């Protein structure tokens, strides 16, 4: 790997670390301005002022905000996410299985949506301005017009209530057989797939069409190569960088944007865990989950940037 590429990769990683620090400060600040009192929510309305004062001192709530921030950040760096105020359980232990559930759901959705989006994008380019292109583009536009909760409720109504093919509540547990787990997540995975599929397909189509206007593609057409050969051998490899970017951004959304889908299907993932503890005003849990979501999103964006840099032939073979 050449020196310019290494320099760009190092810059992207350093920028990602700085951005994560800034996001951690915003998350901490945001949880501090939430209405209500943590000690009051734990002890209840019948708590005495002395009991509230003792709990605030025990939790360190009387310390200045910057001290509490650096204490929390130091714990995160060492792997200590704190203790849930509502249950007294270790947050890192509680998050473990839920993070796995969210990643599994996102992986299954990505396994279907990414290849399908690229294939549909290639078909749309191959038959551009024809009825196939118009049909794919029209369905993609219609799909992006519906929010996740609407798609989720439609799937529940038809596939769980009316036809009773899949369960409406996605209950999973440790040691669950693989096929049963796949059946349980079929509807939320389908909802996520429909949400991200259209955007990836449209961006794939746009990236390849942009490359198709290049001179070397015209030369390949003059040589008599078939349309699919031109797209596969000449257009697609040079459109990889923007396609990687949009795929990674949508993968980040699959992990971070599952909150609504998990709530609809009562799926025991990170999103459901976050919503449950926001209602309880469990600040340490909200901070931990928010930071994990931010870390996943920033990391996938860095991976997209690095992959785009490496895939760029102008950087790999500078003049």
Instruction: Evaluate whether residue 74 is within a structural domain.
Output: no
> Which residues in 125-160 are b (16+ Cβ under 10 Å) and which e?
bbebeeeebeebbeebeebbeeebeebbeebbeebb
pLDDT over 70 percentage in the chain? 94
pLDDT digits (tens, 9 = 90+) for 129-168: 889 889 988 888 888 788 888 999 999 999 999 999 999 8
Tell me if residue 61 falls in helix, strand or coil. coil
Domain assignment of residue 222, yes or no: yes
Three-class SS of residue 78? Answer: coil
Q: Identify the domain containing residue 231 by its residue range.
A: 3-35+81-316
CB count within 10 Å of CB 318 equals: 9
pLDDT value of residue 319: 55
Statement: residue 318 has pLDDT above 60: no
Structure tokens at 269: 């993932």
Provide the residue count of the chain: 319
Work out how many domains the chain is built from and give that number: 1
Greater pLDDT, 36 or 117: 117
The beta-strand segments (E) located in the chain are none
In a domain, residue 250? The reply is yes
Q: What is the CATH number of the domain that holds 284?
A: 1.10.3720.10
In a domain, 50, yes or no: no
Distance of CA 145 to the CA centre of its chain: 19
Q: How far apart are CA 257 and CA 261, in angstroms?
A: 8
Average pLDDT, the chain: 85
Q: Residue 83: helix, strand or coil by DSSP?
A: strand
**For 195-243, how does the pLDDT look when each residue is reduced to its tens digit (9 = 90+)?**
888 888 988 888 888 888 777 777 877 777 777 777 777 777 777 778 8
Q: Is the pLDDT of residue 1 over 90?
A: no
> Is the per-residue pLDDT at 113 higher than 60?
yes
* Distance from C-alpha of 157 to C-alpha of 179, rounded to nearest angstrom: 23
Q: Is 47 a domain residue?
A: no
Tell me whether residue 268 is in a domain. Answer: yes
**Domain-located, residue 75:** no
pLDDT at 253: 84
pLDDT (tens digit per residue) in 239-292: 777 888 888 888 888 888 788 899 999 999 998 999 888 877 788 898 999 999
Q: Is residue 72 part of a domain?
A: no
CA distance 44 to 38: 10
Question: Measured between alpha carbons, how far is residue 245 from residues 150, 211, 305 in Å?
Answer: 27, 16, 7
């Amino acid at each position: 790997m050449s020196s310019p590429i290494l320099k760009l990769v190092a810059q992207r990683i350093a920028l990602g670390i700085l951005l994560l620090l800034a996001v951690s400060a915003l998350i901490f600040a945001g949880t501090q301005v939430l209405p209500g009192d943590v000690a009051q929510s734990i002890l209840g309305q019948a708590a005495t002022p002395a009991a509230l004062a003792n709990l605030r001192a025990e939790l360190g709530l009387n310390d200045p905000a910057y001290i509490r921030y650096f204490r929390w950040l130091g714990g995160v760096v060492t792997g200590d996410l704190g203790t849930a105020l509502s249950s007294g359980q270790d947050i890192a232990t509680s998050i473990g299985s839920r993070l796995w559930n969210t990643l599994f759901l996102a992986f299954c959705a990505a396994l279907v949506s990414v290849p399908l989006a690229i294939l549909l994008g290639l078909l749309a380019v191959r038959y551009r301005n024809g009825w196939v292109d118009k049909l794919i583009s029209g369905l993609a536009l219609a799909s992006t017009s519906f929010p996740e909760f609407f798609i989720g409720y439609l799937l529940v109504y038809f596939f769980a209530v009316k036809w009773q093919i899949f369960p409406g509540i996605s209950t999973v547990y440790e040691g669950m057989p693989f096929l049963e787990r796949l059946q349980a997540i079929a509807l939320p995975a389908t909802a996520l797939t429909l949400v991200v599929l259209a955007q990836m397909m449209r961006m794939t189509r746009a990236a390849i069409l942009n490359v198709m206007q290049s001179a070397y593609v015209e030369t390949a057409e003059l040589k008599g190569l078939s349309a699919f050969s031109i797209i596969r051998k000449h257009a697609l490899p040079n459109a990889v960088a923007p396609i990687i970017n949009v795929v990674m951004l949508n993968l980040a959304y699959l992990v971070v944007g599952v909150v609504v889908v998990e709530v609809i299907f009562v799926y025991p993932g990170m999103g459901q865990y976050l919503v449950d503890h926001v209602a309880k005003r469990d600040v340490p849990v909200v901070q931990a989950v928010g930071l994990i979501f931010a870390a996943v999103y920033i990391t996938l964006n860095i991976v997209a940037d690095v992959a785009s840099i490496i895939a760029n032939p102008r950087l790999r073979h500078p003049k």
